[in-house]
Amino acid sequence: MSILDNRPALKAQIDQVAEVAGYLWIKGWAERNGGNITVNITEWADEGMKALPAISEVKPIGKTLPRLKGCWFYCKGTGKRMRDLARQPMANGSIIRILEDCAHYEIVADQPVAPTSELPSHLAVHDYLLAKGSPYRASLHTHPIELVALTHSRKWMKKDAATKMLWSMIPETKAFCPRGLGMVPYMLPSSVELADATIRTLDQDYDVVMWEKHGVFAVDVDIMSAFDQVDVLNKSAQIYIAAKNMGFEPDGMTDAQLKEMSFAFGLPK
């Protein structure tokens, strides 16, 4: 028995998470238990789900998040591998609900798999998105090799330096990651400080932010779209490296060409 039985719309969301988890492994972005995914599934929580008992004790989130009262999330399990989640999403992640106090949660299904250690960042971001009236319901943290490598240089950590370079490698990157890449200086993984800095940076009008020397954190309407934004950014980083490996600094598209795209496609920046 699974909570997904007879809930095809909810199952479709979890199937998409599993599909993306497989891509993360194939890309080489998900060593061991690297990366995590959460999806706000509240709109699929029916009365039958609401009547289910908890299968864990009540646990603190580490933050009080007023917009998450009664919300439901699918969360990757801490220490779980994306390559395992790709085959068995409900054995390597779980469905949780947030309690009335907005500061605690309990696991409801299918197994008592403890959620990701980055839960404070994920849930704080979902709270922020709801407060903003955003339609985004999914958040992805992953370790894309080339993008992480960029953050080992102070040059690329400067505000919008990496965005400009990445956008200029190939038109698709600006078209499909139109807000660019925000930069968060190194902070302890799973810390509340990292969660707060992630929100401050997303709030500067980005959908994807870089955690220096660690990974990216991306938000979008669903997990496939969040993955796509990271995928186009990392593709650009690979093109940059390919040019450097051929022995030259790539020219990049011109400022005029980048501006022309914003005008032609109605991009926000």
Residues that bind Zn ion (CB under 5 A): 215
Q: Binding to ligand 13P by residue 118, rule CB under 6 A?
A: yes
**Contact call for residues 197 and 214 (beta carbons, < 8 A):** no
Task: Give yes or no: 19 in active site.
Answer: no
Give me the least distance between CB of 260 and ligand 13P, in Å please: 38
Number of helices and strands in the chain (H, E): 11, 9
Which of the choices Zn ion, ligand 13P, none does residue 22 contact, using the CB cut-off of 5 to 8 A by kind?
none
Q: Binding to ligand 13P by residue 78, rule CB under 6 A?
A: yes
Q: Binding to ligand 13P by residue 191, rule CB under 6 A?
A: no
Cα–Cα dist 178/159, whole Å? 16
Q: Which residue has the tokens 């061991």?
A: 32
Residue 153, CA distances (Å) to 150, 213, 233 in order: 6, 10, 17
Of 79-98, binders to ligand 13P (CB under 6 A) are: 79
**Contact call for residues 11 and 3 (beta carbons, < 8 A):** no
The single residue of 19, 43, 47, 118 carrying the catalytic annotation is 118
Sign of torsion, CA 210 30 141 102?
negative
According to CB under 6 A, which one of 21, 25, 35, 233 is a site residue for ligand 13P? 35
Which of the choices Zn ion, ligand 13P, none does residue 78 contact, using the CB cut-off of 5 to 8 A by kind?
ligand 13P
Choose the binding region for ligand 13P from 76-84, 127-135, 155-163, 168-176 (rule: CB under 6 A).
Answer: 76-84
Cα–Cα dist 155/165, whole Å? 11
According to CB under 6 A, which one of 111, 117, 134, 262 is a site residue for ligand 13P? 117
Give me the least distance between CB of 158 and ligand 13P, in Å please: 24
Give the number of other CB atoms < 10 A from CB of residue 109: 21
Instruction: Enumerate binding residues for ligand 13P (CB under 6 A).
Output: 33-36, 76, 78-79, 116-118, 141, 189
